[in-house]
Amino acid sequence: MRSLRFISAKALVSHPQVAQQSLDGVAHNLYPLLFKASYLLEQAALIRVLLERWPLEEFRLSTLLGPGSEAAEDLRDRTCRACLEACVQGLADHVLRAGGPRRLRVADLTGVRDVQVQRCPCGRALGRWGRTELLARTCCQLQGEAPAAQRPIRVVADLFVTDGNFEVVVQALRPAGPAPLRVHCVSFRADSLGPSQLLQVLRLAGPGELHRLEVVHNVRLHAGHVQELLAEVRFPQLASLTLPARAFDAPPAGTRSPHGEDPLLSSIAWELSQMSQLMELSVAFSTLTGKIPKLLGPLRTPLRTLDLANCSLNHTDMAFLADCAHATCLEVLDLSGHNLFSLFPSTFSRLLSRAARTLRVLTVEECGIEDRHVGMLILALSPCHELRELRFLGNPLSARALRRLFVALCELGRLRTVEFPVPKDCYPEGTAYPQDELAMSKFDQQKYDAIAEDLRAVLLRAGRGDVQVCTPLFGSFDPDIQETSNELGAFLLRAFKAALENFSRALEQMQ
């Protein structure tokens, strides 16, 4: 629903030249409505002028684009390139504009969501990496341009740094002179960086204000790097931490204590325990066999999100998870890559029973769940009435077993999303699990479509048409990987070349 004021703002914005000429007579409290209307209609030139002349002390993008009392549209999933570039260009114009003192103190550019399909008219997105580079380059261009008497504008941003934009981000965060735009980072993602680069940029990014830190994919860290990062940089406000694969591996020259203890793990656990705001932890694809009690036991606050996919957990780890204080607070849990019902049937069920009141998202992909386990899975899920998303791709289940499971899932009233595997009926007999990508893609599409339609019919007959079901064979859409895929590919090729050169040198030395 739209108010009369927003309808009027939209009508004015649809004639951008008239709107620009009328700004001198527009009340300051109408600027937010004009901005949202301009964003809705993709009037980039007008957005730039609005930011240049912004008369208020704050500009908060998420608040302006989100649903409000005057305009119900939620535009936060429109990362429109033209509009976002106009916002940053308008900020630059704002600080360079001649005249009296400016009122704008804070420009918060966070809160937009990257999605697979853009709803804006142009259909062209500006992802998190692109937004980071645009802001950094703009800050660098403005360095030394600020009038001495003017207070710098605090720009709150989510940063995504790779080797491709590392230098310009460092320059933006460490200005050599006056800087009219000062970047304050609340969310930081790093990929394709070396450990020393990561430490350098994080120290500059203001770790004391950081709420979310994602170190992913091609940042090659071992336990020594992680310990150094947490001990030297410090993150007192950190609420969410993601570490890359193998982040808990011992350093190449690492040694254990005579009693078999792991001093690096103990130090990492202690540093994590000092983060009083920590609620989300992702350590997927790290070998943590028998280490979960040591890692999670010291934490002061219970976790709400825990990703332990492919961490080679054992009975000690699972027993700790089922009985610890975190279990009763978990909202998001990923235990993919573990044979839950072959190895830990009662422990896993106990964990879900304790998490039932809070658990919203459960991922158990490639967990060796077979037809004979479906009864146990149904029983384990039965108390999880808050569950909204269930993902169990990569498990060797037949159409018959899936149908039985879907009948049970109809009883979970809040469930909205189910990602289920291609039934094993659709693959050649004797197909081995877990599957590689090539084997995964070779199935009978016609047979799959018929089974998927039958499963949807099960939901519809139970009045559960609100549940969306799908089979994303190669994982869900990741906007950050999509945006930087070319750079990631080049990084992997360089790493492969370096590995071959090292191998060749080692062979020469042996000869």
- Rounded Cα gap, residues 114 and 477, in angstroms: 10
CA distances from 51 to 62, 107, 329, 393 (A): 15, 10, 42, 46
- Rounded Cα gap, residues 500 and 497, in angstroms: 5
Q: What's the distance, CA 355 to chain centroid?
A: 23
pLDDT, tens digit, 9 for 90 and up, residues 397-430: 999 999 999 999 999 999 999 999 999 999 998 8
CB contact at 8 A, 73 and 33? no
Q: Which of 374, 373, 425 is nearest to 398 (CA)?
A: 425
- Rounded Cα gap, residues 318 and 333, in angstroms: 13
For the chain, 511 residues long, the average pLDDT of each consecutive 10-residue run is: 85 93 92 96 97 97 95 94 98 86 92 89 93 97 72 96 97 90 97 96 96 95 96 96 96 66 93 97 98 97 98 98 98 98 97 98 98 98 98 97 98 98 94 88 95 98 97 79 69 54 60 60
CA distances from 18 to 9, 24, 25, 43, 269 (A): 12, 11, 12, 13, 61
Count Cβ atoms within 10 A of the Cβ of residue 474 and give its class: 0-12 exposed, 13-18 middle, 19 or more buried.
exposed
3-class secondary structure, 433: coil
pLDDT, tens digit, 9 for 90 and up, residues 89-141: 999 999 998 776 789 999 999 999 998 888 888 889 999 999 999 999 999 99
Q: What's the distance, CA 454 to chain centroid?
A: 33
Global model pTM greater than 0.85 = yes
* pLDDT at residue 508, rounded to an integer: 62
- Rounded Cα gap, residues 478 and 197, in angstroms: 24
* pLDDT at residue 422, rounded to an integer: 97
CB contact at 8 A, 374 and 401? yes
Q: What's the distance, CA 202 to chain centroid?
A: 18
- Rounded Cα gap, residues 404 and 379, in angstroms: 12
* pLDDT at residue 430, rounded to an integer: 86
* pLDDT at residue 39, rounded to an integer: 97
Other beta carbons less than 10 A from residue 450's beta carbon: 13
